[in-house]
Amino acid sequence: MTKRPAQSAAAAPGSTYPGSVTSAASAQAEPASGLQVQFVGSGDAFGSGGRFQTCIGLTAGGRRVLVDCGASSLIAMKRLGLALNSVEAVLVTHLHGDHYGGLPFFILESQLYTKRTAPLLIGGPPGTPERLTEAMEALFRGSATAQRRFEIRHVEWQPLARTEIGPARVTPFPVVHGSGAPPFALRVELGGRTVTYSGDTEWAPSLPDAARDADLFICECLQFDRPVKGHLDYGTLRAHAAELRPKRLLLTHLGPDMLARRSEVAWETSEDGLVLEL
């Protein structure tokens, strides 16, 4: 089922924990079964088409995680009426600002306005705790060491290591995208469904295994037919389509050329606010 967008009006930033992390954070109670996928933000790094940067909400049984949290994600969440305190975990594919740059704003909003008390779980590439501290200090001096009512718990991805974080099980697959830390495609199991997100990457040998038999494979596709280092294009995806074999494939992170040629694309494409029920 597809729903088109509807809009409504004393620590450093966390500690690193090996292995599994869970939380009892409260969440909005929908959907009761299955998995809801919502594209909070579906754009590329530069807001092509007026879109918000990458942020994908996954909700099952009243429990919610975000996959990526780009710099514009707090604004996008407020436009959609999504409660920050409903988010138990943020799963980060790689350390570029359009994928994790919203975390400083998310953390400060949670501290100052939503009065969060439940732990916030952040899964990301090795080095995420340090990069988040640097980002917070660059944007809001002193914010990384400010006292807060809630704990931030970090899990650092290890290639192909299936990890529990909040309500989700996540398997990171190495991909190819320079970001100062290892980038990953994330295969997320939640609510009896499996969603894989490619993150940003050029064609990588890991993608077929990451996507295989997923209920939904969300794949970045920046360009239509012009390969760009570190990113996928529609021509390359068509050439490798037979290798992927998900149950459903949807393209996101579309650049200007892809947006202009959406009518020529055989697969579904994302837009801000799009909701899928799996």
Q: Is 5 domain-assigned?
A: no
CB count, 10 Å around CB of 116? 22
In which domain, by residue range, is 52 found? Answer: 12-277
3 in any annotated domain = no
Number of domains in the chain: 1
Say what the pLDDT of residue 38 is: 98
Query: Closest Cα partner for 30 from 52, 62, 4?
Result: 62
Q: Which are the contacts of 47, defined by CB distance < 8 A and separation ≥ 6? A: 53, 72
Q: Is residue 7 part of a domain?
A: no
Could you tell me if residue 156 is inside a domain? yes
163-179 pLDDT tens trace: 999 999 999 999 999 99
Q: Which pLDDT belongs to residue 30?
A: 43
Mean of all residue pLDDT scores within the chain = 90
**Helices 103-112, 73-80: crossing angle, 10 deg rounding:** 60
Beta bridge partners of 249: 217
Local structure of residue 256 (DSSP, 8 states): H
2, part of any domain: no
Structure confidence by residue, pLDDT tens digits, 143-202: 999 999 999 999 999 999 999 999 999 999 999 999 999 999 999 999 999 999 999 999
Q: Write the DSSP string, 135-200.
A: HHHHHSTTGGGS--SS-EEEEE--TT--EEETTEEEEEEE----SSS--EEEEEEETTEEEEE--S
Looking at the domain assignment, is residue 1 inside a domain?
no
Series of mean pLDDT values for 10-residue runs along the chain (278 residues): 50 40 36 83 96 98 97 98 97 97 98 97 98 97 94 98 98 96 98 97 97 98 92 96 97 97 96 98
Indicate the Cα dihedral angle 12, 15, 21, 27, nearest 10°: -10
Which CATH number characterizes residue 128's domain? 3.60.15.10
Does some domain include residue 266?
Answer: yes
Helix residue spans in the chain (DSSP H): 73-80, 97-100, 103-112, 128-139, 207-211, 234-244, 256-260
Q: What is the pLDDT of residue 226?
A: 86
| Residue 6 belongs to some domain of the structure | no
